[in-house]
Amino acid sequence: MAATARDPMANHSDFQEVENAEDLFPELTGGPREEADSSGERSNGPKLDFDDDADDLFAEATEEVSLDSPERDVLLSDGPSPAITPVTPPTSVLTPRLAHAHDDMFTHSSFDELEEEESSEASAVAVSVSDPEKVGEGMNAYMAYKVTTKAPPSSALFRLPEFSVRRRFSDFLGLHGKLASKYMHAGYIVPPAPEKSIVGMTKVKVGKEDPSSNEFVEKRRLALERYLMRTVQHPVLLKDPDLVQFLESSELPRAINTQALSGAGLLRMVNKAADAVNKMTIKMNESDAWFEEKQQHFENLDAQLRKVHASVESLVCHRKELSQNTAQFAKSAAMLGNSEDHTALSRALSQLAEVEEKMEQQYQQQANADFFLLAELLGDYVRLLAAVKGVFEQRVKAWQKWQDTQLLLQRKREAEVKLHFSNKPDKLQQAKDDIKEEIEELEGKVQQGERDFEHISRVIRREVSRFEKERVKDFKILVTNYLEALALTQQQLIKYWEAFLPEAKAIS
């Protein structure tokens, strides 16, 4: 205690010195770390601690201050927020607060700085997916894609500033699986991987080099690229060793558990169903209006996005139809021109046929723009919102777990009391000791549960803020690109018709 009271100044004068922070806040590092080892998680997987404790610890520390931020003040006045419910000795909570109490502005700006640092670091990394190549023949064939990463040396994440590897679709799914299992339950919005498509892939496997299977491969390539870009843009995910391995290492163990009908696949389906049931049965006492509000907001957003997506898909369909109909008309007009016996008119009709042919191509391009620049973006966000909803659900699960543990503790305490009044003296002492041990363990677990819950709540707040920023940026860029593509096709149309006009006027 004394140590913590003495040294806070040293800490926030130098934010880079994260090592000090570790020592300064033993409660924060000590407790969770023990838990991490005893938990069933993989060692490099985070529970509350991540490989770079430093990073998150630091984030934790600054997050604590957000308790003092204006929005939180409003909430605090309304009622007790979970973090302040006097279940656990609030040492871990209060101490940092005291330490930073008079430094709101300072640490606030530091929080923003940190975000900017992280996001600028993340956005400096660029990934591209290219050169799809079919490997193998028949039903065992698959497409391999070239994944190229470019990272500034300052990021110190990779061995080289630029490098490539070859990956197949199931590798991407495997990566997502790992990231999701590591980070989602801690509240991180892990970008969803592109969807499987049995129909699409079968066509490719069968080996038809037709435009629809080419379109499918192109669609998938772009989707994979967007998926990787979103993942590397995430400052926390970028540092994950699985991601680094995926991007860097030339050989990657086959991700066998990604097949839809495999054992793992079935397990996933069962889990999803269980989650759905849980969602319906868990009623959380939401004391934080922010979460309720945000959850509602995302539900509404999701509903609206889906509507827009559906109407854009209809547009894509009709645009393709227009392209086909225009092609048919062009052929017919050419035939009519051939049949026409008046020379000048015949020539004009042939020219008309040519213009319509060019229009057909422009419409096809417009359809592509409609699809790749607009429809796919909307589809991505529908899936991303599902991931966002997922982390909200994880928070509810964390709360549930905490509550369950509390309930268990309560029962054990009641059992302890009963023991005091029981009549079996010989077993009594042993039982008393046992139960005391259990109670201590449970008390620890309850504390942990509360901390987990607080942590996930904090992470979600940050993630949501980041997500909203990214969303605005994404939409603006992609919408602008889409409109520019449309403007280009219209300008082409002008050219074609302007070239045709003198031909039409030449008819006499």
Is residue 362 within 8 Å of 489, Cβ to Cβ? yes
Which stretch of DSSP H or E encloses residue 148? strand 142-150
**Terminus-to-terminus CA distance in the chain, angstroms?**
100
Distance (Å, whole) CA 94 – CA 100: 10
C-alpha neighbours within 13 Å on the C-beta side of residue 78 = 12
* Residue 292 touches other proteins, criterion: CB under 8 A: no
Q: Are 257 and 266 in contact (CB under 8 A)?
A: no
Residue 314 interacts with other proteins (CB under 8 A)?
yes
Residue 392, Cβ neighbours under 10 Å: how many? 21
CB of 404 to other proteins, least distance (A): 35
Among 196, 329, 347, 403, binds other proteins (CB under 8 A): 329
Residue 332 in the binding site for other proteins (CB under 8 A): yes
Q: Please give the Cα distance from 376 to 2 (Å, whole number).
A: 56
Closest contact distance (angstroms) between CB of 120 and other proteins is 20
Asked if 402 and 444 touch (Cβ cutoff 8 Å), the reply is no
304 lies in the binding site for other proteins (CB under 8 A): yes
CB of 488 to other proteins, least distance (A): 9
**In whole angstroms, how close is the CB of 372 to other proteins at the nearest point?**
16
Q: Six-digit token pair at 106?
A: 């300072």
Strand-pairing partners, residue 129, are 147
Q: Which residues pair with 165 in a beta bridge?
A: 147
Q: Is 326 among the residues that bind other proteins (CB under 8 A)? A: yes
Specify the stretch interacting with other proteins by CB under 8 A; choose among 26-34, 173-181, 206-214, 293-301.
293-301
Q: What is the 3-state secondary structure (H, E, C) of 77-95?
A: HHCCCHHHCCCCCCHHHHH
Nearer to other proteins, 102 or 342 (CB): 342
Q: Is 180 in the site for other proteins (CB under 8 A)?
A: no
344-363 binders of other proteins (CB under 8 A)? 344-345, 348-349, 352
The H-or-E segment that residue 145 falls in is: strand 142-150
Site for other proteins in 401-440 (CB under 8 A): none
Which H/E stretch holds residue 421?
none
Taking CB under 8 A as the rule, does residue 318 contact other proteins?
yes
Binding segment for other proteins among 128-136, 188-196, 268-276, 313-321 (CB under 8 A)? 313-321
Distance in Å, CB of 503 to other proteins, minimum? 9
Q: Closer CB to other proteins, residue 267 or residue 483?
A: 483
254 binds other proteins (CB under 8 A): no
Q: Given the complex with other proteins, which of 16 and 339 has the nearer CB atom?
A: 339
For other proteins, the closer CB: 415 or 486: 486
- Given a contact cutoff of 8 angstroms between Cβ atoms, the answer to whether 400 and 282 are in contact is yes
Shortest CB 307 distance to other proteins, Å: 4
Identify the residue whose tokens are 């979600």: 460
Q: Are 283 and 396 in contact (CB under 8 A)?
A: no
**What are the distances in angstroms from CA 498 to CA 133, 351, 393, 488?**
42, 12, 58, 15
Cβ 285 to other proteins shortest distance, Å: 26
- To other proteins, the closest distance from the beta carbon of 382 in angstroms equals 12
Touching other proteins, residues 33-72 (CB under 8 A): none
Footprint on residues 477-506 left by other proteins (CB under 8 A) = 479-480, 483-484, 486-487, 490-491, 493-494, 497-498, 500-501, 504-505
Residues 493 and 98 sit within 8 Å (Cβ to Cβ)? no
Report the distance separating Cα 354 and Cα 496, nearest Å. 9
Interface with other proteins (CB under 8 A), residue from 292, 321, 434, 441: 321
CB of residue 383 to other proteins, shortest distance in Å:
16
Q: Which of 54, 144, 308, 408 binds other proteins (CB under 8 A)?
A: 308
DSSP 177-216: HHHHHHHGGGT--PPPPPPP-HHHHHHHHHT---HHHHHH
Select 246 or 371, whichever has its Cβ closest to other proteins: 371
- Choices 78-86, 160-168, 327-335, 399-407; region in contact with other proteins by CB under 8 A: 327-335
Chain-centroid distance of CA 419 in Å reads 50
DSSP-derived letter for residue 422 is -
Say whether residue 104 binds other proteins (CB under 8 A): no
191 touches 390 (CB < 8 A) = no
# of chain residues touching other proteins (CB under 8 A): 56
Contact criterion met (CB below 8 Å) for 398 and 449:
yes
How far is residue 12's CA from residue 8's CA, in Å, rounded to a whole number? 7
From the list 74, 206, 335, 417, which residue makes contact with other proteins (rule: CB under 8 A)? 335
Supply 191's token pair.
Answer: 């970008």
Judged by CB under 8 A, which of 251, 341, 425, 430 binds other proteins?
Answer: 341
Closest to other proteins by CB, 203 or 347? 347
Q: Is 373 in the site for other proteins (CB under 8 A)?
A: no
Residue ranges in contact with other proteins by CB under 8 A: 297, 300-301, 304-305, 307-308, 310-312, 314-315, 318-319, 321-322, 325-326, 328-329, 332-333, 335-336, 339-342, 344-345, 348-349, 352, 468, 471-472, 475-476, 479-480, 483-484, 486-487, 490-491, 493-494, 497-498, 500-501, 504-505, 507-508
